[in-house]
Amino acid sequence: MKHYKQFYEIDNNRYYTIDVDDEMYVGTESILKVGKKKLFRKQDVLTMGFKLLKFSAPVAVLFNALNDVEKTKDQKYDTEELITYEKIDNKKIKDDIKKSYTQVIEDEIAALEQQGLDLLGEGKTELAEYIKPYIDKLKKLDPLANAGIDLVVPIHTGDMVVKSLLRVGIEHLYTEKVNAFTNNIYFYEQDCFGTLTIYRIITVKNVTKTIDTFIYDKKVVGSLLKTIYEEGR
């Protein structure tokens, strides 16, 4: 585990981050403590399972939304573990995901346009003209499609698992195109206590091959975002 950075632990779960090929992943390790507790000796720990979730822009938006949800006005219980929270607004989530991708393109266009103006100011007309086709190309680019991201609910898939999730009201987050035949379809649901469950459905030719679930409460998400902020990632 030397390449992983642990940022949280609770009960039988440890949480890590790892950077792979310029992408950050969140790791969840399920552990089992064996043997009797002794005064000067730690219990042995067995790893029962390990899962990785890509910390993509849509997941980052979702985590920030969960971190920001307010407590409900009418609390039924006094204990911290039973505090209830408002629901995430899925429409706002989708809008914020779009913005996260379009902003990168807009910033790049603005930088190139400024560079062109600077070159014109220096009398370097040919170089300024050389930049224009790149700006025009960026303006025509669909940043979501370019990233292989689809925010449209996959209602046309023939897969019964996907249809079942949609039927019971579980929210579609995004679909990631892996190749011509394979998609990673992400869904999520949030319970009243602020716990988030993310479902990753891997489909090949619209047929489910793998289902993975990832569960994070507000404390885990808050600790992750704090760690990322402090490390400047």
Which pLDDT belongs to residue 76? 80
Asked if residues 178 and 184 have their Cβ atoms less than 8 Å apart, the reply is yes
C-alpha 44/C-alpha 2 separation (Å) is 18
Asked if residues 16 and 27 have their Cβ atoms less than 8 Å apart, the reply is yes
Q: Please tell me the number of Cα atoms within 13 Å of 221 on its side-chain side.
A: 22
Which pLDDT belongs to residue 233? 64
Q: What is the mean pLDDT of residues 115-122?
A: 92
Q: Is the pTM above the cut of 0.75?
A: yes
Residue type for position 200: R
User: Which band of pLDDT confidence, cut at 50, 70 and 90, is reported for residue 11?
Assistant: confident
Percentage of residues of the chain with pLDDT beyond 90: 62
